[in-house]
Amino acid sequence: ARKIIIDTDPGQDDALAILLALASPELEVVGITAVAGNVPLALTEKNARKICELAGKPETKVYAGASRPLMRKLVTAEHVHGRTGLDGPDLPEPEMPLQPQHAVDFIVETILREEAGSITLCPIGPLTNIALALIRAPEIAPRIREIVLMGGGFFEGGNITPAAEFNIYVDPEAAKVVFASGIPIVVMPLDVTHRALTKADRIDCFRAMGTRAGDACVALLEFFERFDEEKYGSDGGPLHDPNVIAYLLKPELYSGRYCNVEIETQSELTLGMTVIDWWGVTDRPKNALVMRDVDHDGFFELLAERIGRL
């Protein structure tokens, strides 16, 4: 199985990403590292544990990482995810422990211990923990197989400001460190995730499972989609983060191209913007495979088939 570390700020869509990974035998989740983002760290690490228990995998190792971005004040998104970050289902307080080790130490140690080129990082929140690991131990960079992340947007614009997507906006300096690292990066931007909409019949697939995980997904998705439906008038809400895991399972669902990606960290107006050289108008080095489209029916089929196993 492919070894992955999920770095996350759950988040309803993070929750589905974690469930998808834990339900998939092709992947070995060596650890889940929590970061402050959608809600503060004390909630994201707890939410991550709730989801592992929901998946029936309380043995999963969950670590807490950074409680704030590298250089800025934390911006959260309770307006999207609710006060707990995981509003919707009524999940019990987790009984499984939080690991005592700091998430950044866990990331560094694991990458140095495991065979070079074997660990894939899956960041689905602000990039603070990943940047801290790279700053702390730059020698991990060439040992990382790939980073597959949810963040940014180009033709779609932003979702927290007109220019910026939330994960990049919250910690743009961290994103800059990651995109300058030389590690192979795959980006799932809003251009992809805004095509993966949780329409009513897709939510019905989870209802039809008749399982605890299926029912929890219905409650998570129904809470999550209301924000985008009201705000953007879309039929359903965009299911961002599970695209990262789906790409590892079925890369053929996605299409995109290699480009240069730089992160804006100076301008007040466009802070956190992912400046993507899609048309190759500069000679800046290509540093990321940026996805632009997804087979959204295939994506939801995969998600339902896997979560139906839990």
Whether 35 contacts 44, CB under 8 Å: yes
Find the angle CA(11)-CA(196)-CA(256) to the nearest 5 degrees.
Answer: 110
The residue number with the shortest CB distance to ligand BDR is: 166
Token pair 């050289």: residue: 277
C-beta closer to ligand BDR: residue 196 or 289 = 196
**Contact residue for Ca ion among 69, 89, 125, 172 (CB under 5 A):** 125
What's the DSSP call for residue 98?
P
Binding segment for ligand BDR (CB under 6 A), chosen from 7-15, 18-26, 92-100, 138-146, is 7-15
The angle that helices 200-207 and 296-307 make with each other, rounded to 10 degrees, is 20
Site string for ligand BDR, 96-125 (x = CB under 6 A): ----------------------------xx
Whether 144 contacts 138, CB under 8 Å: no
Given 79, 81, 194, 240, the catalytic residue: 240
Both structure tokens of 105? 């130490």
Both structure tokens of 101? 């080790």
Report the distance separating Cα 140 and Cα 147, nearest Å: 12
81 is catalytic: no
Q: Which does 158 bind (CB under 5 to 8 A by kind): ligand BDR, Ca ion, none?
A: none
User: Which 218-257 positions form the footprint of ligand BDR (CB under 6 A)?
Assistant: 240-241
**Contact residue for Ca ion among 5, 6, 7, 11 (CB under 5 A):** 11
Report the distance separating Cα 86 and Cα 38, nearest Å: 9
Q: Is 167 in the site for ligand BDR (CB under 6 A)?
A: yes
Positions in the binding site for Ca ion (CB under 5 A): 9, 11, 14, 124-125, 241
Q: Which residues bind ligand BDR (CB under 6 A)?
A: 11, 13-14, 38, 77, 80, 124-125, 150, 159, 165-167, 240-241
